[in-house]
Amino acid sequence: MFVSNLIPVRKRLFIGLLAVSLLSAALFLGGIYYLATNPNRTAFNQILLLTLAGMLFGGMIVAAFGIGGIVLTILYARDINALHGPMRVAVNLFFPIVLTLGRIFHIDVNRIKSSFIEVNNHLVRSKEFNILPDQLLLLAPHCLQNSDCPHKITVDIDNCHRCGRCPVNSLLDLRDHYGINVGMATGGTLARKFVQEYRPRAIVAIACERDLTSGIQDSNPLPVLGVANERPFGPCFNTNITLSKVEEAVRFFLDDGWEPLTEIGKDTDINDNMEGVSVVAQNIGQRTGAKSTHRF
């Protein structure tokens, strides 16, 4: 039985693992220094090891400032522009170590990635944006489309017949209401194609934790707000979204002086659409033997 995958996580999980990663690097640095100062080493080996130790020490100092910047940004909800570079170094340098530590401590990888997404979203929200609708891109996974739908929408999302049986219709309602760009991607390659095509100043991304994590890192320094999808029937099959979270992320980026282009749900009400999605999900659950306990 598949249930809602959205397990509440705290930002402190990722930050704590970052700090432990920094400590692990310090211990490794100590080992390198011990080997470098061993009198039995040749001069060449000592120089090589000391050079490696110096590079690692420099990276650790920058990463330490970055971790401090992340903590201060979260605590005070204020952007620290001078520490943007160190924060990127901290995440990019230690993220593989964080995942390794998670496996050692038997922490579910999706919990770690969810915590990373929460940290990223908090850092993005600490900044102020005044973006025009056509400068914002909403990226969504193709698995939001009903699996029985015969209409291909990854090439052209307007091929959607807007029947309301899946969340795609509601995303199109958001697009029409706010005037933003929407792309339905089958993977990272197509997502990057949409980014190159629309050249957005910011992105709202819907995906699983794995794809959101890699997408946020690949898009850096472009600001990305991540919204994890819901997978009541398992990964990549008839997934769903909490529409209010997506709309809130869209509104966060838009200019305060923005005026709506249309009324949401003028032709098809979003709440009615989501009720339709819920009915379809229940029918699918009966066919597959799965029962979803999550209400759309």
pLDDT in tens, the chain (296 residues): 333 454 456 889 999 999 999 999 999 999 998 888 888 888 888 899 999 999 999 999 999 999 999 999 999 888 999 999 999 999 988 999 999 999 999 999 999 999 999 999 999 999 999 899 999 999 999 999 999 999 989 888 999 999 989 999 999 999 999 999 999 998 888 999 999 999 999 999 999 999 999 999 999 889 999 999 999 998 889 999 999 999 999 999 997 766 666 666 544 444 444 444 444 444 444 444 443 333 32
How many other C-beta atoms are found inside a 10 Å radius of the C-beta of residue 163? 15
pLDDT (0 to 100) of residue 259: 65
> Where are the alpha helices (H) located in the chain, listed in sequence order?
11-36, 43-76, 84-104, 109-125, 168-178, 188-198, 209-219, 243-253, 270-288
Q: Is 293 within a domain? A: no
**DSSP result, 96-146:** HHHHHHHHHTT--HHHHHHHHHHHHHHHHHTS---B-GGGEEEEEEGGGS-
Angstrom distance (rounded) from CA 293 to CA 275? 14
Angstrom distance (rounded) from CA 89 to CA 83? 10
> For residue 183, what are the domain limits?
133-288
Q: Is 69 within a domain? A: yes
Q: Is 36 strand, coil or helix?
A: helix
Angstrom distance (rounded) from CA 153 to CA 141? 11
What tokens does 29 get?
Answer: 């640095």
pLDDT (0 to 100) of residue 8: 56
Q: Is 217 within a domain? A: yes
Number of domains in the chain: 2
pLDDT (0 to 100) of residue 98: 96
209 plus 284 within the same structural domain: yes
Of the residues 73, 107, 125, which one is the last residue of a structural domain? Answer: 125
177 plus 54 within the same structural domain: no
241 plus 139 within the same structural domain: yes
Q: Is 252 within a domain? A: yes
Q: Is 170 within a domain? A: yes
75 plus 201 within the same structural domain: no
pLDDT (0 to 100) of residue 287: 40
pLDDT (0 to 100) of residue 262: 61
Q: Is 6 within a domain? A: no
Q: Is 184 within a domain? A: yes
Angstrom distance (rounded) from CA 159 to CA 73? 42
Of the residues 125, 153, 182, which one is the last residue of a structural domain? Answer: 125
For the whole model, what pTM was predicted? 0.81
**Is residue 89 a contact partner of residue 59, using CB atoms and an 8 Å limit?**
yes
23 plus 46 within the same structural domain: yes
